[in-house]
């Protein structure tokens, strides 16, 4: 497994009380380095403007990268930028680009990008939900355009629906999106009836759902649809805020559930895409749970 991160991702300052804080990434990196001291960490490059413009409108790119003077600036009520945020966002998106290139070139089958800010709520023209650029969408568009892939799957098991990812690819049949998420939460999208051009697959989980319901939902509905799509590349929005300890949601998953879904995704990637799978960190706001789940997820990627 290849691993990507960048120190700049720790410089995205969101303020002292914000859930999406640098300590999240530090907890993940510390836990992974303790678990696998021999893991080589690669420095994520910066995404270029053209990479971002594949999925984002120019005014959003300009707004995220604009210099911030005099403290913090809010792009929306929940989404904050500081002086280091633009550079962090460029490296977060760049990690996905480098990881896609590496697995497509056969350097390894799997890659994990330990980066922040997260991305899956960012739409073509708006930053929101703690997200500046849509990192997974930037990676998918790069895989389509640079590598000529015709079937790219994005799997999103974050507790919140990836409304930005869905909106960006809603009319793009080369990219299929598969998501389980808690009902009644921000951003209040992701109904089973939101189908795009047949490429959007959403399942809502009621509050209190645990691992049994989560696994059966994927086994009965989402994994068969993913298998039928025959993805040449699997991209994962790896949010761990469905864990029972997370303060922002009410699902009851445990670390073993994330290891299980990762292993299932690897099986499908092996079947259709020569094992190619790239995972990018999204949510997860209990530091202990986030660290535990990241270790479980990466352990399955390394297996």
**Residues that are catalytic:** 121
Tell me whether strands 73-76 and 79-81 are parallel, antiparallel or unpaired. antiparallel
CB 94 within 8 A of CB 43: no
Output the CA–CA distances (angstroms, integers) from residue 107 to 101, 223, 270, in the order listed: 9, 27, 15
The structure tokens listed for 230 are: 């025959």
- What is the Cβ-side half-sphere exposure of residue 157, based on CA atoms within 13 angstroms? 29
CB 201 within 8 A of CB 225: yes
The structure tokens listed for 222 are: 């989402």
Tell me whether strands 110-113 and 79-81 are parallel, antiparallel or unpaired. unpaired
The residue among 74, 71, 87, 105 whose CA lies nearest residue 12 is 87
């Amino acid at each position: 497994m290849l691993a990507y991160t960048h120190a700049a991702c720790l410089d995205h300052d969101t303020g002292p009380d914000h859930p999406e804080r640098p300590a999240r990434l530090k907890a993940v990196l510390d836990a992974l380095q303790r678990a696998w001291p021999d893991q080589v960490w690669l420095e994520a490059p910066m995404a270029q403007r053209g990479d971002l413009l594949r999925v984002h409108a120019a005014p959003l790119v300009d707004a995220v990268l604009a210099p911030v003077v005099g403290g913090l600036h809010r792009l929306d009520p929940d989404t904050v930028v500081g002086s280091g945020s633009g550079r962090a966002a460029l490296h977060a998106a760049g990690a996905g680009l480098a990881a896609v290139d590496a697995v497509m070139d056969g350097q390894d089958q799997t890659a994990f990008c330990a980066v922040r800010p997260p991305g899956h709520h960012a739409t073509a023209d708006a930053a929101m939900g703690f997200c500046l650029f849509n990192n997974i969408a930037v990676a998918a568009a790069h895989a389509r355009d640079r590598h000529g892939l015709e079937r790219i799957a994005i799997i999103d098991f974050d507790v919140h629906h990836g409304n930005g990812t869905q909106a960006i690819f809603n009319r793009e049949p080369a990219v299929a999106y598969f998501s389980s998420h808690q009902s009644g939460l921000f951003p209040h999208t992701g109904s089973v009836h939101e189908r795009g051009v047949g490429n959007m697959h959403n399942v809502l989980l009621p509050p209190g759902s645990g691992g049994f319901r989560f696994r059966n939902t994927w086994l009965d509905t989402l994994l068969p649809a993913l298998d039928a799509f025959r993805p040449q590349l699997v991209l994962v929005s790896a949010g761990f805020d469905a864990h029972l300890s997370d303060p922002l949601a009410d699902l009851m998953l445990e670390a073993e559930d994330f290891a299980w879904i990762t292993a299932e995704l690897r099986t499908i990637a092996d079947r259709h895409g020569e094992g190619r799978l790239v995972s990018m960190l999204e949510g997860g706001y209990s530091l202990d749970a986030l660290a535990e789940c990241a270790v479980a997820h990466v352990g399955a990627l390394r297996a």
